[in-house]
Amino acid sequence: MVLCKGCCCGQTERGHPEVPVERIKEIWKREKLNRSIQLTISGCLGPCDVPNVVLLMTAEGTEWLGRIAGDSDYDELIQWARDCHAAETVVPLPESLGDKQLSRFAVKEAIA
């Protein structure tokens, strides 16, 4: 899981929601979640028109999330990591994050 904390993401002075990096890192360390889900705090991941981007990379592919805001969204991601850790495999994301999914690289239809 890659959390963006870049030029837009988490920049509260620019009107964007906070990214609670220290809280998340503390939970990951305390619960040893890195053994199942690696946590990376990154600079800008883009797209910059969507704040608070998260990239999930698994053997099944990549999943982009955006507009992650407030403790409830981050708690859902933490719980997902806990569930993956307990199951010893990647489990589906919670349905509550469904509206946060992004199509990061939209494919344009070929012109005939």
3-state secondary structure 1-60: CEEECCCCCCCHHHCCCCCCHHHHHHHHHHCCHHHCCCCEEECCCCCCCCCCCEEEEECC
Task: Tell me whether residue 77 is in a domain.
Answer: yes
pLDDT tens for the 112 residues of the chain, in order: 999 998 888 888 888 899 999 999 999 999 999 999 999 999 988 887 888 999 999 988 999 999 999 999 999 999 999 999 999 999 999 999 999 998 866 545 545 4
Distance between CA 38 and CA 47 in Å, rounded? 22
The H or E element containing residue 101 is strand 101-102
pTM of the model: 0.88
* Parent domain of 76: 2-102
Task: Tell me whether residue 73 is in a domain.
Answer: yes
Task: Tell me whether residue 17 is in a domain.
Answer: yes
Domain total in the chain: 1
